């Protein structure tokens, strides 16, 4: 695996600093509950059970992290368990890819989502308290301003996985619902700074797909890849909508994200 670029190392340091700052910040939680977790008991408030339902796609169309679980999600994302879970998923993906190696024709491909699969938006969603109380988790104007900065930290395990796939001879396509016109340049620069260099294509949402669901948009783009005779050997995303629909791939892998839901 190639040595990560200097900017990727800097990005990792930014990630660690962001998590430390987030962990030390105070968050107002409904009912005056402490922001830290756990306040006592094995699973007070049922927040662990809620997260399992979210990851299993049993809690569909939820709009925000339940207010009593903001502290739980904060701690999960910031104190190491999330990183370990993503690393475990990346290890499984790499193991699978090694068992189904790329052919010599250059048409075996992997599709990776971007937001909270390759690049982390944790600082943005922490500031929004994950949509609890009066905050909206996803505000289009606020998210555009955040993403336009090109400062989203790269997720270390996914940077390593990216290079494993590239080193294995796979074509790697990055497919995101970000707006192509508004965020294309900043997204490309952010990916390069985070260590995602040499991908085969960056596919963002064009004007024709504005207002369409993620499943509709991503299905259409994967069909386009299939029409170009690419074989999608694997598909990785943090949302179930990244992994559903047409030409989803021979195998799909979901990385954890209890921060928000994209239909």
Q: Which residues of 229-251 are buried (b: 16+ CB within 10 A; e: fewer)?
A: ebbbbbbbbbbbbbbbbebbbeb
Query: What percent of the chain clears pLDDT 70, i.e. is strictly above it?
Result: 81
Please state the pTM of the whole predicted model.
0.84
The tokens describing 29, both together, are: 């939680």
Among the listed residues 35, 137, 121, 16, the one whose alpha carbon sits nearest the alpha carbon of residue 78: 16
Write down the residue that tokens 């010599």 correspond to.
Answer: 104
Inter-CA distances, 227 with 90, 149, 174, 230, Å? 28, 35, 17, 7
CA-wise closest residue to 250 among 224, 222, 227: 222
The string of pLDDT tens digits covering residues 37-77 is: 455 456 767 999 999 999 999 998 888 899 899 999 999 99
Separation between Cα atoms, residue 113 and residue 236, nearest integer Å: 6
- How does pLDDT run across 113-151, given as a tens digit for each residue? 999 999 999 999 998 888 765 455 568 899 999 999 999
Report yes or no: 199 and 172 within 8 Å, Cβ to Cβ: yes
Comparing 34-38, 178-182, 219-223, which segment has the lowest mean pLDDT? Answer: 34-38
* pLDDT (tens digit per residue) in 6-15: 555 555 565 5
CA torsion 183→187→189→191, rounded to 10°?
180
Q: Which of 187, 193, 198, 191 is nearest to 8 (CA)?
A: 193
Tell me the domains of the chain and their CATH numbers.
47-254 (3.40.50.1000)
């Amino acid at each position: 695996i190639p040595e990560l670029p200097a900017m990727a190392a800097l990005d990792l340091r930014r990630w660690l600093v962001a998590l430390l700052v987030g962990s030390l910040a105070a968050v107002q939680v409904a009912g005056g509950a402490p922001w830290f977790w756990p306040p006592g008991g094995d699973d007070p408030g049922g927040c662990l059970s809620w997260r399992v339902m979210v990851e299993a796609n049993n809690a569909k169309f939820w709009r925000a992290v339940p207010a009593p679980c903001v502290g739980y999600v904060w701690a999960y994302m910031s104190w190491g368990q999330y990183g370990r879970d993503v690393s475990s998923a990346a290890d499984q993906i790499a193991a699978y890819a090694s068992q189904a190696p790329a052919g010599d024709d250059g048409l075996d491909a992997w599709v990776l989502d971007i937001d909270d699969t390759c690049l982390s938006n944790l600082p943005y969603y922490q500031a929004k308290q994950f949509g609890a109380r009066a905050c909206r988790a996803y505000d289009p104007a606020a998210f555009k301003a955040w993403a336009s900065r090109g400062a989203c930290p790269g997720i270390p395990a996914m940077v390593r996985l990216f290079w494993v796939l590239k080193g294995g001879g796979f074509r790697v396509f990055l497919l995101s619902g970000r707006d192509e016109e508004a965020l294309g340049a900043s997204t490309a620069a952010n990916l390069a700074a985070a260590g995602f260099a040499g991908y085969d294509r960056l596919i963002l949402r064009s004007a024709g797909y504005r207002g369409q669901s993620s499943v509709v948009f991503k299905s259409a783009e994967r069909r386009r890849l299939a029409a170009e005779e690419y074989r999608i050997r694997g598909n990785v995303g943090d949302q179930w909508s990244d992994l559903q629909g047409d030409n989803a791939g021979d195998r799909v892998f979901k990385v954890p994200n209890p921060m928000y839901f994209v239909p």
